[in-house]
């Protein structure tokens, strides 16, 4: 309670201090941003921990009515302070920060008062991350970690009591997910956390960590049992419906298009891709098959894709293959004059460290905003632990062609290059509230742009690219149709397997993902569509230069494309 009073007092002090107008608006605005960020972390201490800001690591707020009111008050107060500035007086980078802060603050009210997943999604209540993020932090010492953990453990009981009060008519899928995840949380506390805490000598002043962990686990078990006993007679649909979907899309994507517009674009793109895929299959057919091509175009495409997928790396040289491709991608980007790549920031490929090696694959591992000295890596998992059957299936999926597209997406000129540019325009706001549609959209745009410029030009490459791109397109169609048009699992699987040529396991995984999340699956195609449309618009100008366009676009950091567009079209 003391903390709440304290923060309200802090807030009113801030309002007074930033209502005084001074001559240097950008300096004032920078100061406002710093106060906003710190106040934001005070309200969301576990999110703060997850990005490496540890000032509030001792807090684990129960999501009760008091906390919700605290969020609403924070949102309203800071919107008032924000509106004391006029976006027109700010420089371009601050203009974008202004829009992003406004969106973040308005989102708070939407999620608390309208979306209300805190009532129907029990999987939102999980303390594993609140502890794991402290344990894994690399910018605080172990003794501080230990004390923060003990303080958070003390609040677990209140946390789950509030959760039980909040839950009303939850959906069955989210309840099942919560039960499953709470098993993982119990296991984390009983094993990893206990092991970490066991390294410290018992402090007489504090309750021993074993007891605290024991109590916390008992509380999670109680919560799990409560969820298991819930009846789902008046089962709430996990589908959120058109109205909420459009609102969530607006806040999460920050797109200049509506969800429905993006959905229509995706439908058109899908049919273009099918036409192109069939024509490529016809062209390639006689090189790969003796028999004549089936008249069913989707069947023919599927057969062609399966055949071309057989060209792939050997399991033992998968990682070397990726390492070999990176300099080739850089050389191509340079030769074709597509984007300046800073030679002082070369990409570092490494084996995925064991502690983060879950699913095999490749991904960019970027340090958090408060972890400035940490390096960015391209993590690649080896296939050592896979059976020969699993490895073969994986290698076919990431075949010779798709593997190159994956490297374009993750590394050059995709995520890695984007990150290097984003770091040159340092903005805490853009790092903390980085727009996923822009980030994923850039990587997806990069794939197409490389092929447009003749990278690895062949019909096989184009075929595989189209298949890969169909995944982003169909993610959007799937997400929209399930949530807005009430699609059932069968219809969804048909889209993914027969029209997007996915394997059954992948398709079933996607169905699960779409039933527990909303909008997120749209970010790839939404961002891509916006960036592409912006480029085509700018191309109409006589002095258009592709390299300059890319560099200017990336210079604004991980900001929503619609805000970058406003500045670039000015
Ligand atoms: Zn093979
Ligand atoms: Zn990506």
- The CA 395 to ligand 1 mean position distance, Å, reads 7
- Tally: H helices and E strands in the chain: 27, 3
- The CA 404 to ligand 2 mean position distance, Å, reads 14
Which pLDDT belongs to residue 423? Answer: 84
- The CA 472 to ligand 1 mean position distance, Å, reads 26
Q: What is the pTM of this model?
A: 0.91
From the CA of 394, the nearest ligand is 1
Q: How far is Cα 34 from Cα 55, in angstroms, rounded to an integer? A: 14
From the CA of 406, the nearest ligand is 2
Quick count: other Cβ atoms within 10 Å of Cβ 143? 10
Question: Do residues 414 and 404 lie in contact, with contact meaning Cβ atoms separated by under 8 Å?
Answer: no
- The CA 320 to ligand 2 mean position distance, Å, reads 21
Question: C-alpha distances in angstroms, 145 versus 45, 54, 364?
Answer: 14, 9, 26
From the CA of 445, the nearest ligand is 2
Quick count: other Cβ atoms within 10 Å of Cβ 171? 22
From the CA of 392, the nearest ligand is 1
From the CA of 399, the nearest ligand is 1
- The CA 308 to ligand 1 mean position distance, Å, reads 11
- The CA 409 to ligand 2 mean position distance, Å, reads 6
From the CA of 306, the nearest ligand is 1
- The CA 144 to ligand 2 mean position distance, Å, reads 34
From the CA of 438, the nearest ligand is 2
Which pLDDT belongs to residue 20? Answer: 45
Question: Do residues 272 and 253 lie in contact, with contact meaning Cβ atoms separated by under 8 Å?
Answer: no
Element (H, E) at 365: strand 362-365
Which pLDDT belongs to residue 7? Answer: 40
Q: How far is Cα 548 from Cα 154, in angstroms, rounded to an integer? A: 54
- The CA 412 to ligand 2 mean position distance, Å, reads 12
- The CA 292 to ligand 1 mean position distance, Å, reads 24
From the CA of 311, the nearest ligand is 1
Which pLDDT belongs to residue 203? Answer: 65
- The CA 517 to ligand 2 mean position distance, Å, reads 17
Question: Do residues 246 and 518 lie in contact, with contact meaning Cβ atoms separated by under 8 Å?
Answer: no
- The CA 191 to ligand 2 mean position distance, Å, reads 32
Q: How far is Cα 109 from Cα 102, in angstroms, rounded to an integer? A: 11
- The CA 304 to ligand 1 mean position distance, Å, reads 15
Query: Could you list the pLDDT tens digit for every one of the 570 residues in the chain?
Result: 333 333 433 444 444 444 444 458 999 999 999 999 999 999 999 999 999 999 999 999 999 999 999 999 999 999 999 999 999 999 999 999 999 999 999 999 999 999 999 999 999 999 999 999 999 888 899 999 999 999 999 999 999 999 999 999 999 999 999 999 999 999 999 999 999 999 887 666 667 889 999 999 999 999 999 999 998 766 789 999 999 999 999 999 999 999 999 999 999 999 999 999 999 999 999 999 999 999 999 999 999 999 999 999 999 999 899 999 999 999 999 999 999 999 888 888 888 877 666 555 788 887 778 876 677 889 988 888 889 998 998 899 999 999 999 999 999 999 999 998 988 877 899 989 999 999 999 999 999 999 999 999 999 999 999 999 999 999 999 999 999 999 999 999 999 999 999 989 889 999 999 999 999 999 999 999 999 999 999 999 989 999 999 999 999 999 999 999 999 998
Which pLDDT belongs to residue 4? Answer: 38
Which pLDDT belongs to residue 224? Answer: 97
- The CA 437 to ligand 2 mean position distance, Å, reads 10
- The CA 389 to ligand 1 mean position distance, Å, reads 10
- The CA 458 to ligand 1 mean position distance, Å, reads 21
Strand order in the sheet with 362-365: 348-351, 377-380, 362-365
- The CA 320 to ligand 1 mean position distance, Å, reads 17
- The CA 9 to ligand 2 mean position distance, Å, reads 42
How far does Cα 471 stand from its chain's mean position? 16
- The CA 291 to ligand 1 mean position distance, Å, reads 22
- The CA 101 to ligand 2 mean position distance, Å, reads 24
- The CA 476 to ligand 2 mean position distance, Å, reads 15
How far does Cα 292 stand from its chain's mean position? 44
- The CA 300 to ligand 1 mean position distance, Å, reads 21
From the CA of 315, the nearest ligand is 1
Q: Biggest alpha carbon distance in the chain?
A: 81
- The CA 81 to ligand 2 mean position distance, Å, reads 35
């Amino acid at each position: 309670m003391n903390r709440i009073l304290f923060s309200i007092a802090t807030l009113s002090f801030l309002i007074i201090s930033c209502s005084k107008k001074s001559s240097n608006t950008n300096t004032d605005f920078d100061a406002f941003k710093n106060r906003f960020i710190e106040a934001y972390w005070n309200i969301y201490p576990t999110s703060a921990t997850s990005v490496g800001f540890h000032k509030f690591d001792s807090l684990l707020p129960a999501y009760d009515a008091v906390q919700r009111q605290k969020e609403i008050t924070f949102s309203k107060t800071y919107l008032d302070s924000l509106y004391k500035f006029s976006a027109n007086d700010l420089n371009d980078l601050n203009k974008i920060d202004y829009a992003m802060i406004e969106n973040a603050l308005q989102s708070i009210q939407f999620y608390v008062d309208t979306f209300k997943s805190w009532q129907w999604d029990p999987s939102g209540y999980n303390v594993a991350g609140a502890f794991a993020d402290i344990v894994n932090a690399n910018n605080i010492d172990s003794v501080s970690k230990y004390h923060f953990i003990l303080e958070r453990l003390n609040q677990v009981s209140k946390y789950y009591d509030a959760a039980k009060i909040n839950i009303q008519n939850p959906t069955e899928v989210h309840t099942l997910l919560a039960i499953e995840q709470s098993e993982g949380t119990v296991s984390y506390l009983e094993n990893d956390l206990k092991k970490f805490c066991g390294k410290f000598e018992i402090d007489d002043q504090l309750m021993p960590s074993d007891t605290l962990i024991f109590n916390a686990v008992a509380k999670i078990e109680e919560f799990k049992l409560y969820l298991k006993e819930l009846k789902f007679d008046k089962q709430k649909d996990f589908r959120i419906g058109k109205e909420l979907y459009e609102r969530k899309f607006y806040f999460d994507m920050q797109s200049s298009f509506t969800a429905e517009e993006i959905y229509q674009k995706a439908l058109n793109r899908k049919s273009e891709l099918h036409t192109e895929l069939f024509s490529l299959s016809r062209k390639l057919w006689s090189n790969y098959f003796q028999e004549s091509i089936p008249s069913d175009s989707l069947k023919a495409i599927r057969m062609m894709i399966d055949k071309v997928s057989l060209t792939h790396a050997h399991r033992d040289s998968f990682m070397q293959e990726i390492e070999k491709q990176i300099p080739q991608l850089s050389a191509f980007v340079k030769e074709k004059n597509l984007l300046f790549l800073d030679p002082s920031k070369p990409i570092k490929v490494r084996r995925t460290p064991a502690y983060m090696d879950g699913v095999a694959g490749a991904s960019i591992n970027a340090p958090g905003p408060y972890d400035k000295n940490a390096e960015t890596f391209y993590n690649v998992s080896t296939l050592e632990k896979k059976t020969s059957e699993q490895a073969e299936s994986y290698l076919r999926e990431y075949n010779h062609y798709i593997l190159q597209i994956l490297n374009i997406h993750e590394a050059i000129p995709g995520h890695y290059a984007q990150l290097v540019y984003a770091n040159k325009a340092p903005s805490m706001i853009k790092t903390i509230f980085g727009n996923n549609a822009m980030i994923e959209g850039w990587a997806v745009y990069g794939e197409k742009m490389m092929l447009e410029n003749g990278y690895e030009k062949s019909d096989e490459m184009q075929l595989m690219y189209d298949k890969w791109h169909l995944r982003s397109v169909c993610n959007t169609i799937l997400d929209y149709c399930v949530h807005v048009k009430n699609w059932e699992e069968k219809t969804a699987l048909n889209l993914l397997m027969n029209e997007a040529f996915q394997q059954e396991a992948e398709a079933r995984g996607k169905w699960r993902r779409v039933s527990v999340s909303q909008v997120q699956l749209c970010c790839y195609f939404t961002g891509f569509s916006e960036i592409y449309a912006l480029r085509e618009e700018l191309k109409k100008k006589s002095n258009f230069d592709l390299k300059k366009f890319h560099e200017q676009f990336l210079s604004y950091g991980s900001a929503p494309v619609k805000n970058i567009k406003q500045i670039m079209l000015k």
